[in-house]
Structure 1
């Protein structure tokens, strides 16, 4: 076994054998880079089996300041949420990698970790450029059907699956407050945002004022880009990074899908959506991703070019709302 891992090689070997059995000898560990909120390793065994090790180490979370201050609009970090949503999605027939074992003892390490199914394949974005159109159709049609099924799981109050009792107010009010916080952060670092902060805020209020109350919420992933969908060798899509899944306005999901999937959103489209909610949530995404990109940039995220481009692109998108109207 080689390469750095959060778990000592002896501890990792002991853990793997407790979960899988004596025949599972760890051969190779590799860091699967890219996550902003948890660390992910691929574990390969000498018998040919592979799985994934998830580590929820808050010290390596690029949004640990917000989590520690409880200053995020809805918690989307933690092994408890992963386990809960994994169980819920599986029970409802929504494909997500299987959870083999979750260790929350913290007797050896100050963080939770889990062994999870390894999906041998590619992220959905790889199928944007496939020459075989049948493969594209298969992947995105299945994903569209899976999301439609997930979004029709409904209840009359928003929040996490384990939340009981009615929530007060409408869910978009929570994001209204979050947008103000993120806009303030972005204005401190981007001149054009600072110069137009008042107009951007006025636009936020105007978009919010058009939304009528609702008491019906669907189950959403919460941040479903093509990088959060794994496709196996049978062209079956799986949802990953599921900690933020919850009951919410499905327009929040669709407004994100619309710009993340581009032309391929046609496979995922829902014709029954509220256009005012779609506008509001899209605007919120642009503000939030501007701030999020800046925070990744300022906090040492490995792909600095991506972080910078994320902030610049979404700041321009937000400004277009006040330049072109809506």
Structure 2
């Protein structure tokens, strides 16, 4: 049985972050995370009525067994305070709106894991706003698009994390398209062992991946991408600005990788984020690779005790259908 944070675990941490006069009155663990716990902590006696706590404790990580591929590469899962702070510094320096950090601690004295206390952005997610107030959401989408333009225009000659080199920021000389192909082939092999429909189409999917990759030409510059920029990873502040969260995967990479994810997650709202000049051949390869990743990842999570099991099955099923639809 997993043990999550409760009022007693958070009281000292919140006092250190918000002041000695504050008192924790309620704690809600927010749903959706698979590698860190996210808690809304409601308080009395502080200027803000609530704060958000991130905990990177092992109890919060729902990935069973081997939880990553590409050891040392940009697709290696990252978790912890250091990559969060590195990504936040980079984004803040480029003018992107990210939550303010009220306390960050990896000493394990306040809590037996990396932990951060950040502002509780008041306006909810862009995903919810798109449903409840499309007119207001359109302005937030415009702000998000401007932020994405800045990030994607921040070019580097090599892909990889923005961390210092000693934290894994350097990348190999393998081009992005080859990295994506190799990852997709591994996803295909794993999914074939878990889902009979993937196994039945395994040869055709493998040939399609190789064919699409062969059409991609080399590239020498890579933009800065969020990595999982869906509307659920964008909050809305009181000024109507788009606030980026779940930023630990920030990296320099082909911007087409991000645009495939944006198109998938924003659906009919994607035109506000679409841009001319994207490489259609990269988009084709990355779309199939992304769908295969979103089949394999949820199926792997289902090996463990992740609570949102119906949602995971739904993600895997949707992306399986989309992957098979891309076969000629």
Is this a same-fold pair by TM over 0.5? yes
Cα drift, residue 36 of structure 1? 1.1
Larger deviation: 227-236 or 182-191?
227-236
1:97 maps onto 2:102 in alignment: no
Runs of 4+ in 1 over 4 A off after TM superposition: 67-72, 163-166
Larger deviation: 213-222 or 158-167?
158-167
Match 1:190 to one of 186, 189, 195: 195
Which residue pairs with 2:39 in the alignment?
41
Structure 2 gap segments, 5+ residues each: none
Alignment check: 8 A CA contact 1:44 1:51 kept = yes
- Give distance in 1, aligned partners of 2:102 and 2:179: 34
Alignment check: 8 A CA contact 1:123 1:226 kept = yes
Match 2:273 to one of 268, 276, 283: 268
Which residue pairs with 2:156 in the alignment?
155
Cα drift, residue 15 of structure 1? 2.3
SS of equivalent residue, structure 1 residue 52:
strand
CA RMSD of aligned residues (A): 2.0
Which residue pairs with 2:129 in the alignment?
127
* TM-score normalised by structure 2 residue count: 0.90
1:106 maps onto 2:108 in alignment: yes
Count of residues in correspondence between the two structures: 318
Larger deviation: 101-110 or 255-264?
101-110
* TM-score normalised by structure 1 residue count: 0.91
1:311 maps onto 2:311 in alignment: no
Cα drift, residue 173 of structure 1? 1.8
Which residue pairs with 1:79 in the alignment?
81
Structure 1 gap segments, 5+ residues each: none
- Give distance in 2, aligned partners of 1:6 and 1:70: 31
Cα drift, residue 171 of structure 1? 1.9
Larger deviation: 16-25 or 143-152?
16-25
Aligned pair in 2 of structure 1 residues 60, 15: CA closer, same or farther (>3 Å)?
closer
Cα drift, residue 255 of structure 1? 0.8
Cα drift, residue 231 of structure 1? 1.3
Cα drift, residue 216 of structure 1? 0.4
Which residue pairs with 2:63 in the alignment?
63
Cα drift, residue 81 of structure 1? 0.7
Cα drift, residue 300 of structure 1? 2.1
Aligned pair in 2 of structure 1 residues 113, 168: CA closer, same or farther (>3 Å)?
same
Larger deviation: 193-202 or 110-119?
110-119
Aligned pair in 2 of structure 1 residues 62, 43: CA closer, same or farther (>3 Å)?
same
Aligned pair in 2 of structure 1 residues 249, 137: CA closer, same or farther (>3 Å)?
same
- Give distance in 2, aligned partners of 1:198 and 1:68: 24
Cα drift, residue 111 of structure 1? 1.6
